[in-house]
Amino acid sequence: MGLNDKVSLYASAPAITFEPSTSLGDAVSALLVLHKHRILVGRGVAVTGVVEPGDIPSLFERLGAGLWDTPLSLVAKARPPVVRGDTPVGEAAELMVRTGLSTLLVDLGGVTGVFTSWDVLQAIEPGELLTPVSEAAEGLHPRVSPDEPVEAGLEAMASSGRAIALVGVESPWGFLEPLSALKAAVEGARAGDAAEPIDVFTHCEGALSEVVAAMVDAATRVAVVHSGWKPLASLDEGDIVRAAAWSWRSQRSTG
């Protein structure tokens, strides 16, 4: 079923919500233990706002290390849109692209679920997104040297508008993602010490769905596209969601 699946099949209950007075640093520390990436703000099960991974770099650029102690009420965006449980995954991906969000709330019949860009990746079937990787990738994410401070990676994310920074200038071998990078930056770490390994390398002529399957299998949010030994481009969740939304629109227009 893939992009035609219902979002209710992939949505999950919020792992945790944080009071608006909670500091961003406390929320990040808790989520890193849970291996979660969205900071849901609210009281009890009622979600009133969100801080997404892609928000962190620009907030860090504005507030620096002081961001760590800033209350969520000062940095959270408004409550994400709520969609019905029977909304197709492709339609949800389209809504993400339209709103610039990577998080949606789902009405599960009295219970609110959370549906994210990672869930879009998990829903994609092998026969979908047959677009060549070379057409879907938009160049390399910003790159930083392993010897640079982590804050250089966050600044590179902010200036590029992308929520991943690659570590390794000539041949990237690792990456920084915003939440763990923020914690590492506050601790004064170097990019090479804070980087997560890149587990998915793919040739430029492959189908995008093959890369998505590899990313899901490896539970990684980035893939590097290469030709021989030369890195040409890289993909993250946002790139996949945009491709899924385009595929969904194409299906609808031709169906």
d(CA 77, CA 152): 25
Residue range 23-45: average pLDDT?
92
Structure confidence at residue 70 (pLDDT)? 98
Residue range 93-102: average pLDDT?
97
d(CA 76, CA 94): 23
Which domains can be identified in the chain, with CATH numbers?
2-123 (3.10.580.10), 133-245 (3.10.580.10)
Structure confidence at residue 127 (pLDDT)? 86
Instruction: Work out the number of other CB atoms within 10 angstroms of the CB of residue 245.
Output: 21
Structure confidence at residue 255 (pLDDT)? 59
d(CA 163, CA 239): 11
Best CA proximity match to 90, nearest among 255, 251, 253, 254 = 251
Q: Is the pLDDT of residue 102 over 80?
A: yes
Lowest mean pLDDT among 105-119, 130-144, 232-246: 130-144
Q: Give first-to-last CA distance, the chain, whole Å.
A: 15
Residue range 65-80: average pLDDT?
96
Bridge partners of 166? 143, 175
d(CA 43, CA 21): 11
Best CA proximity match to 243, nearest among 110, 87, 138 = 138
d(CA 92, CA 117): 9
Position 115 confidence tier, pLDDT thresholds 50, 70, 90? very high
Bridge partners of 83? 106
Residue spans of beta strands (DSSP E) within the chain: 17-18, 39-43, 46-51, 77-78, 82-84, 103-107, 112-116, 143-144, 165-167, 174-176, 196-197, 201-203, 222-227, 230-236
Provide the percentage of residues in the chain whose pLDDT is more than 90. Answer: 78
pTM of this structure? 0.93
Provide the percentage of residues in the chain whose pLDDT is more than 70. Answer: 99
Structure confidence at residue 135 (pLDDT)? 81
DSSP, residue by residue, 202-237: EETTSBHHHHHHHHHHHT-SEEEEEETTEEEEEEEH
